[in-house]
Amino acid sequence: MARVVVDPVTRIEGHLRIEAQVDNGAVTDAWSSGTMFRGMELIVQGRDPREAWIWTQRICGVCTTVHAIASVQAVEDALAISPPPNARLMRNLISGAQFIQDHVIHFYHLHALDWVDVTGCLTADPQKTADLAQKISPWPLSSRAYFTEVQARVKALVDSGQLSIFTNGYWGNPAYKLPPEADLMAVAHYIEALSWQRDVIRMHAILGGKNPHPQTFLVGGMAAPLDPNSPNVVNPLRMDQMAALVRTMRTFVEQVYVPDVKAIASFYPEWFTYGAGHRNYLAYGGLPNGALNDTSLYTFPRGIILNGDLSTVHPVDQTKITEAIAHSYYTYPGGDQATLNPFDGVTAPKYSGPTPPYDALDTANKYSWLKSPRYDGQVMEVGPLARMLVAYGSGVQKVQDLVNSTLAELNAQPAALFSTLGRVAARALETVYLLDWMDTWLAELGKNMNSGDLRTADTSKWEPSTWPAEAQGWGPHEAPRGALGHWVKIKNQKIENYQAVVPSTWNAGPRDENGQTGPYEASLVGTPVAVLDQPLEILRTIHSFDPCLACAVHVVDATGAEKVRVEVR
């Protein structure tokens, strides 16, 4: 019996620690811990609710925009403001670009190397690699000469004495199953994705003034002017640029990302059986195509799937969302067994864990800076898989077609979706699904502009004197990593209480007051671990959720250094 510790798990800023119990080559129990305190809720208390988005957007530097949108929507909900259609379209275009860029980055730069052995590509035959690439896609960068050159660059990096960006891989681990040519093809696309991602995110510079952290959000709409006759605003030239960016997105997603996901998945069929967890899925839904509160017109439908039963989509009632702290470093006025809806949420930190540096968490008691969100007392997974399952169950035809054809290609049953690779596949299909919406939103925005509808904001309630003495609002949104909600209570024109429940808190939270494990913890049970001091398989499942502990715990690593500490005892 051994306990494996992986700390931190994320390849980007943020702090997530996993302790896993391994018996006879498989995980039997696991504990997920966020190791840093957030506290953004305390920072915005007493501030003007119209500026909350500026603060909360900085919760994360990677998942930029999502907290800003959730925040302005919460305040708009509280003050009964309806942003005009153009504001909704611009927010959707910003969100869509964020999803598409983020999903591709996640696959290539944060997850692919759990499946692809970088050192494997050194022995690949460039001709066989070209054959493979040309077989699965019309993407033009697929010649023998091209792969020969990429291979030479990787070799130069290896020969320089250190692998740098590839330092932390478990190269040569027996759990790597790809043939060398697939390794080389994937590494080439890893490099190509670096250039692609910096191009497509220019959408944010056009609509948001800058990236990361666009600056044009506004309670009531957007501060990005729309005018066909002005050179420095969103005009026909900018519309053409955005249309070209969407084409760039589409080509890479359809010809590189999706074929790679399918090709890699085909070598790991057993990973459609590992990593399920509780099989409860929650989507707040979002990216509205009508009024903010008209959920029937959401791009992503709202709903809940229970126990993997896709035949019924349950409704979402935000009053049933609560957060527990029984195993979290916080106190509640009602004690550790109490749970609170975020409107009445309390952020009162009280660390009671071991003094760092420590070997083990006190998992019998409190062991995480994340709270444990629950819906009607039940554990919920959020993210692309939850969104696709809810959309599938809700009868969204395009999602059903995408899912069914992919399952047929992989010769898999719907139950295969409840797995580690199910998350990876859902993320890719969701990216395809959004491409058509991007075209739709752009066309609508262009139509409005040409017909003279240039409104981008409703400022009729901008002045605090127009507000009620007390108001409260909920801003549900979907971030690339899953359901994101901001809750705000406004009293005498100031923020009285503010709570953000972020996707990684839903997924990475610890056990609750009833001892129910969180989604990460549950998903790891049964995961095989071939080499104890190389917990590659644990990382596969955790990374399949796209953990962003910068998002869940929000304090940027002051050392900037990534140390994946693996301990075996």
Partner 1 sequence: MSGVAGGGLDPGGGLDPGDGPGRRYVVLGLGNRIQGDEALGSLVIERLAADDAVIRALPDPASIDLVDGGTVGLALLPLLEDVDGLVVVDIIDGGLSPGARQDLDGTLLLRRDIVMGVHDLGATELLATLQLMGAMPRRIRVVGIQPKRVDLGTELTSEVEASVPELIRTVLGHLRAWQTEDGSGG
Which positions lie near partner 1, rule CB under 8 A?
Answer: 61, 109, 149, 153-154, 156-157, 160-162, 164-165, 191, 194-195, 197-198, 202, 205-206, 209-212, 241, 556, 558-562
What sign results for the dihedral spanned by CA atoms 2, 27, 527, 385?
negative
Written as one letter, the residue type at 515 is G
Query: For partner 1, which is the closer residue by CB, 25 or 140?
Result: 140
Active site residue 58: no
Q: Is 548 a catalytic residue?
A: yes
From the number of C-beta atoms within 10 Å of its C-beta (0-12, 13-18, 19+), residue 559 rates as exposed
Pick the catalytic residue from 19, 63, 521, 523: 63
Which residue bears the tokens 């209480």?
497
Question: What's the closest the beta carbon of residue 331 comes to partner 1, in angstroms?
Answer: 27
Q: How far is CA 219 from CA 45, 81, 343, in A?
A: 17, 8, 19
Q: CB–CB of 426/417 below 8 Å?
A: yes
In the complex, least distance from residue 165 CB atom to partner 1, rounded to whole angstroms: 5
* β 482-491/470-479 pair status: antiparallel
Between 242 and 370, name the residue whose CB sits nearer to partner 1. 242
Q: Nearest distance from residue 282's CB to partner 1, in Å?
A: 31
Tokens, residue 79: 């003050």
Written as six digits, the tokens of 67 are 């907290």
Which residue lies nearer to partner 1 by CB, 20 or 234? Answer: 234
Q: What gap in Å lies between CA 507 and CA 518, rounded to an integer?
A: 6
121 is catalytic: no
Give the residue among 516, 310, 542 at the shortest CA–CA distance from 420.
542
CB of 566 to partner 1, least distance (A): 18
Which burial class, exposed, middle or buried, applies to 504 when counting CB atoms under 10 A from its CB (0-12, 13-18, 19+)? buried
Residues 6 or more apart in contact with residue 189 via CB below 8 angstroms? 108, 256, 257, 260
Cβ-contact 303, 283 below 8 angstroms: yes
Query: What does the buried/exposed string (b/e) look like for 193-222 if buried means 16 or more CB atoms within 10 Å of the residue's CB?
Result: beebbeebbbbbebbbeebbbbebbbbbbb
Active site residue 103: no
Of 41, 50, 60, 543, the active-site residue reads 60
Beta bridge partner(s), residue 24: none
In angstroms, rounded to a whole number, what is the distance separating the alpha carbons of residues 529 and 286? 37
Of 71 and 211, which has the nearer Cβ to partner 1?
211
Q: Which residues contact 62 (CB under 8 A, 6 or more apart)?
A: 12, 13, 102, 212, 548, 550, 551
Kindly name the residue from 32, 95, 419, 504 that is annotated as catalytic: 504
Establish whether 13 is a catalytic residue: yes
Query: Which residue from 456, 532, 415, 455 is spatially nearest to 174, judged by alpha carbons?
Result: 532
Largest CA distance in the chain: 71
CB nearer partner 1, residue 212 or residue 269 = 212
Q: Look up residue 333 and give its amino acid.
A: P
Quote the CA–CA distance of 288 and 208 in Å, as a whole number. 19
Structure tokens belonging to residue 70: 């959730």
Q: Which residue bears the tokens 């798990």?
A: 9
332: left (phi over 0), alpha (psi -120 to 50) or beta: beta
How far from 157 is each of 124, 332, 385, CA to CA, in Å?
16, 52, 36
Contact 453, 286 (CB under 8 A): no
**Residue closer to partner 1 (CB basis): 183 or 512:** 183
Tell me how far apart the alpha carbons of residues 493 and 473 are, in angstroms, rounded to a whole number.
Answer: 13
User: Measured from the CB of residue 540, what is the shortest distance to partner 1 in angstroms?
Assistant: 22
The two structure tokens encoding residue 238: 């900018």
Tokens standing for 102? 């983020």
* Catalytic (active-site) positions: 13, 60, 63, 67, 481, 504, 548, 551
